[in-house]
Amino acid sequence: MPFARTARPVRKTALVAACATAMATGSAFAADDQLTIGMSFQELNNPYFVTMQDALENAAADIGAEVIVTDARHDVAKQVNDVEDMIQRGIDILLLNPTDSVGVETAVLAAEEAGVTTVAVDAQANGPVDGFVGSKNYDAGYKACEYLAGQLGGNGKVALLDGIPVVPILQRIEGCTAALDEHAGIEIVDKQNGRQERAHAMTVTENLIQAHPDLDGLFSVNDIGSLGALAAISTSGKDIKLVSVDGHPEAIEAIRKPDSLFIATSAQYPRDMVRVGLGLALAKHWDADTAPKDIPIDVKLIDREKASDFSW
């Protein structure tokens, strides 16, 4: 089964449980009509989610399932409409990557009413979801900012680039703040919303540098935003160390460069995440009693040394 790969740092006991229950009930699938799996993404203008889509389509093909994919483009009203349309098209399973954890509840309720098995992926969704698979986002923020504090010698002024109001982003900020607060010499001087977008994050970072000319470090909640921040830092000529979350190929390439101010990112594993999400959804769809409710996926801090051989 394609979603059972455990070479990445996934919480193995939970993964084995989800996949084992799916395999145990797999014989029922052969007798049923073809499954239709819908996946609603918060965006597809990001290699992270494109990687996830590719892994889902490959995994679904291996079990003979049809896949319907939609792109909410960070518009929760569109995402709700997309899900309702997929329900009308007769999906059996909904993998939901919410653009707004609260606002998407209407879609979750509609899926429940239609008898669709719903698993939230990457970001939790309000409402009666059947399961959730996502990164340990608190750990991601903590690891990145713990590393930043160490590289600053436990002293300096740090700013935070926030993002959209979904649980993973909030958890990353919470984890980062907790790590920085452990160092009496670190001061968090500002927090601004970079919207997880390169151009906007660049502008916000330019303003942060102007407002805080003695800034020493910056944490971005995602790598796309961090790449915009890196451009602003490079233009400023200042020695501002940057850390982030994701493991985006461009970010990894930037970290690899000698003397880069982009010093580390907490890497996620999108291929594993969606495969495990599908495995959990299949287990729930087939009423496997032993399937867990939530499966957290480990993250790994990637610095210059580890970046040499890392990829999604």
**Tens digit of pLDDT at every position of the chain (312 positions):** 333 333 344 444 444 444 444 444 444 444 457 999 999 999 999 899 999 999 999 999 999 999 999 999 999 999 999 999 999 999 999 999 999 999 999 999 999 999 999 999 999 999 999 999 999 999 999 999 999 999 999 999 999 999 987 789 999 999 999 999 999 999 999 999 999 999 999 999 999 999 999 999 999 999 999 999 999 999 999 999 999 999 999 999 999 999 999 999 999 999 999 999 999 999 999 999 889 999 999 999 999 999 999 999
Rounded Cα gap, residues 247 and 301, in angstroms: 9
- The CATH superfamily holding the domain 2-129+269-298 is Response regulator (3.40.50.2300)
H or E element: which one contains 232?
helix 223-236
Buried-state track 142-170, b at ≥16 Cβ within 10 A, e below 16: bbbbbbbbebbeeebbbbbbbbbebbbbb
List residues bridging with 255 in a β-sheet: none
Q: Could you tell me the residue ranges of all domains in the chain?
A: 2-129+269-298, 137-268
The radius of gyration of the chain from alpha carbons, rounded to an integer in Å, stands at 20
CA dihedral (226, 229, 233, 236) in degrees, to 10, reads 170
H or E element: which one contains 231?
helix 223-236
Residue 181's pLDDT is 98
Residue 219's pLDDT is 99
Rounded Cα gap, residues 272 and 121, in angstroms: 11
CATH number of 137-268: 3.40.50.2300
Residue 80's pLDDT is 98
Judge if 2-129+269-298 and 137-268 fold alike in CATH terms: yes
82-117 pLDDT, tens digit each: 999 999 999 999 999 999 999 999 999 999 999 999
Single-letter code of the amino acid located at 133: V
Measuring CA to CA, how many Å separate 164 from each of 74, 98, 283, 296?
9, 11, 31, 21
